[in-house]
């Protein structure tokens, strides 16, 4: 059973736009060491395009919720791209430490 949720689109649009601007600023100021510069520039361009579309009203009110879900999905992809190399390095370090301790206490 799907519940109908009533959304005030003007407020929702302003909150969504504020989140887009905040994330754009984070990406521009952040230094993802292992993320390519071209990838970072593409992300910035997508954020700027989305902010422009929200400001000018090119995105219809009915599509705001769907666009917000896509925005959140895109944010998660960025986080995965940014932190995946660190996770892989950490995994290898743990494996190496496990092997060292295994051979030391054998």
Residue 87 lies in a domain: yes
Residue 14 lies in a domain: yes
The one-character DSSP state at 59 is S
How many structural domains is the chain composed of?
A: 1
- Confidence class for position 26, pLDDT limits 50, 70, 90: confident
d(CA 7, CA 4): 10
**Residue 92's domain spans which residues?**
9-104
Q: At what angle do helices 37-56 and 9-29 cross, to 10 degrees?
A: 160
Residue 32 above 80 pLDDT?
no
Residue 2 above 70 pLDDT?
no
Residue 3 lies in a domain: no
Residue 33 lies in a domain: yes
Residue 36 lies in a domain: yes
Residue 4 lies in a domain: no
Mean pLDDT over all residues of the chain?
Answer: 87
d(CA 65, CA 42): 23
Give the other-Cβ count within 10 Å of 50's Cβ. 22
Radius of gyration of the chain (CA): 20
Give pLDDT tens digits for 42-95.
888 999 999 999 999 898 888 888 999 999 999 998 888 888 888 999 999 999
Residue 1 lies in a domain: no
> What predicted TM-score, i.e. pTM, was given to this entire model?
0.73
Residue 91 lies in a domain: yes
């Amino acid at each position: 059973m799907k519940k109908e949720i009533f959304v005030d689109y003007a407020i929702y649009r302003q909150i969504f736009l504020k989140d887009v601007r905040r994330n754009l600023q984070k990406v521009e100021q952040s230094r993802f060491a292992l993320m390519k510069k071209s990838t970072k520039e593409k992300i910035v361009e997508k954020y700027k395009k989305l902010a422009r579309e929200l400001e000018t009203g090119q995105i219809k009110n009915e599509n705001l919720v769907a666009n917000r879900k896509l925005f959140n999905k895109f944010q998660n992809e960025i986080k995965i791209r940014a932190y995946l190399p660190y996770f892989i390095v950490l995994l290898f370090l743990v494996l190496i430490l496990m092997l060292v301790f295994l051979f030391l206490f054998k």
